[in-house]
Structure 1
């Protein structure tokens, strides 16, 4: 028994484009999942290594990213910056970022000291304490402090400024300080008052989410192809059934 198929060019082109888009986006999401899986494996391997002593020599971020480091020096207390729109556990707040002068040099590094809750009155800065004098801190090197959607014009960098996003080059221009081209997410030592929370987001989070998105895009491509095939057979069957009465009439006339 034959199953006639009616090929239609425009639906075929539309199906081809939808399937191509679905496969391409699915592959992209799979790639993102693979990247985060690689980061996860790298984090697990670096977590068991001893902290690296961060020196004054400027080092590319890629050479130290995700490594645990220890730094001896002192905070530049008069240059705190507040990264806005950084919620934690559903609460609005800021990341407190401050330059840290590396002992025995003129080199600094931007330290993300922790998270502070936002006051009810926007623009009112939360209270925090900065240890004075020389100390040794520990943390994890990250290439970026994270990017959020910028709302309106960027706030000029100044001491105690509330900003959306920052990068070491911009802070270096504003402060005149020599800065390492990366950030350090501080993990220790703990603060006595516990005001600064240091539950940093994992760069490897969201692997299952990307895989789920990839499945959805692949499913879209498969559904588009299946729909084209089914409608093609249905259309072919309708045309065959429509020709049957004509053929029967022709046979009867003979």
Structure 2
């Protein structure tokens, strides 16, 4: 004998199907939002790279420093303030990004934070550190502007860990070259006492001091591009909307059957 349907079971199934339809539709809309974000990033990259190259000076306004715009800066390295960014792989090899301030105006302490390139992690890790090129004299650095230093996810930061925070003051006598997971420009300015321009310069070619060999010949200047495959997000959105439609159809079928049972005369 078939198990009799009850109002409680029907209502429970209707609530669950309705909730699933709503959740699946929300996930589809979220994927469409991600696609729109990636499209906006692509447009920003195209607009920035199509802009005329910018020569950065102490008085350059922030409105001119568009992300992805080609730019040059002239000044002196502060190698004593260099920071290594950990866990930055290059073609599957572990290594570091080298971040060094380029002081563009000595009088005011105005500087540009430069991502100088990638260095491989030494085989003696964790005892050893890579040898960072340290050219002296005035340098001209060319690259692309970034809004900030690209971040990596820090699991231990949720627990209030300080494993990747900068020292309170730089240079730090306890470690010649600090290693951090991420680098915040405001925190770096507070530690160094420099006035940083509100952007980061990702160096794309070796710095060129007049009449000398190019600086940073050992550094790799290939930077990762943001993921811009918005079509994949739209494909995921279509799948979620399909699941939502299936749940909605199941809800309608169940509701229709329940209504028919209520209208059917009882069997004597």
Q: TM-score, normalised by structure 2?
A: 0.76
- Structure 1 portions without partners, runs of 5+: 1-5
Q: Distance in 1 between matches of 2:91 and 2:246?
A: 38
Q: Which has the larger radius of gyration?
A: 1
- Residue 226 of structure 2 aligns with which residue? 203
CA contact (8 A) 2:65 2:199 kept: no
Change (3 A) 1:8 1:28: same
RMSD, matched Cα: 3.0
Alignment of 1:203-222 (within 5 A): 203-222=226-245
- Structure 2 portions without partners, runs of 5+: 1-6, 208-213
Q: Distance in 2 between matches of 1:93 and 1:200?
A: 13
Answering whether residue 188 of structure 2 is matched by residue 164 of structure 1, we say no
Deviation for aligned residue 1:73: 0.8
Deviation for aligned residue 1:189: 3.1
Q: Distance in 2 between matches of 1:221 and 1:133?
A: 63
Q: Distance in 2 between matches of 1:223 and 1:87?
A: 43
User: Please, which of 73, 76, 98 is the counterpart of residue 74 of structure 1?
Assistant: 76
The 3-state SS of whatever aligns with 2:14 is helix
Q: Distance in 2 between matches of 1:50 and 1:58?
A: 14
Alignment of 1:1-254 (within 5 A): 8-57=10-59, 59-60=61-62, 63-103=65-105, 105=107, 106-120=109-123, 121-122=125-126, 124-150=128-154, 151=156, 152-153=161-162, 154-157=164-167, 158=172, 159-189=176-206, 194-230=217-253
Select between 212-221 and 131-140 the one with higher mean Cα deviation: 212-221
Runs of 4+ with >6 A deviation: 233-237
Give CA-to-partner distance per residue, 1:49-101, whole Å, 9 cap, x none. 33111121374479522211111111111111011121222222211101111
Corresponding residue pairs, total: 239
Q: Distance in 1 between matches of 2:83 and 2:229?
A: 28
CA contact (8 A) 1:29 1:210 kept: yes
